[in-house]
Amino acid sequence: MEFQHLRDVISFVTSVLFTSSVQHSALTACLLDIYGFVPNVPTMLLRPPLGKKARLAESDVRKALASRAITSDVIAACHSITAYWETQVGHKKS
């Protein structure tokens, strides 16, 4: 990328700062609300989806969902992504 004018540099830096701060915060702020409760969004299915409506037992559903270990890893990852760190700009110490 080559900048011809100062306004090009300013536009590029503004875009980078916006993407890495405001946009990131807007996209990740609600992740824990959504993914933190596993029945809302299962992290993975271990069996193929049904092609036709069928009667399922609870054991069939349990076999299709991820284990507790995988689920807790996903929740921990979401928490890490959405956590407000003390090193962030604007953090006020209590």
Which of 25-34, 74-83, 85-94 is least confident? 85-94
CB 72 within 8 Å of CB 79: no
In-domain check, residue 24 = yes
In-domain check, residue 10 = yes
In-domain check, residue 87 = no
In-domain check, residue 92 = no
Domain that holds residue 19: 6-82
Tell me the mean pLDDT in the region 6-20: 90
Decide if pLDDT at 72 tops 70. Answer: yes
In-domain check, residue 89 = no
pLDDT bracket for residue 88 (50, 70, 90) = low
In-domain check, residue 31 = yes
Chain length of the chain: 94
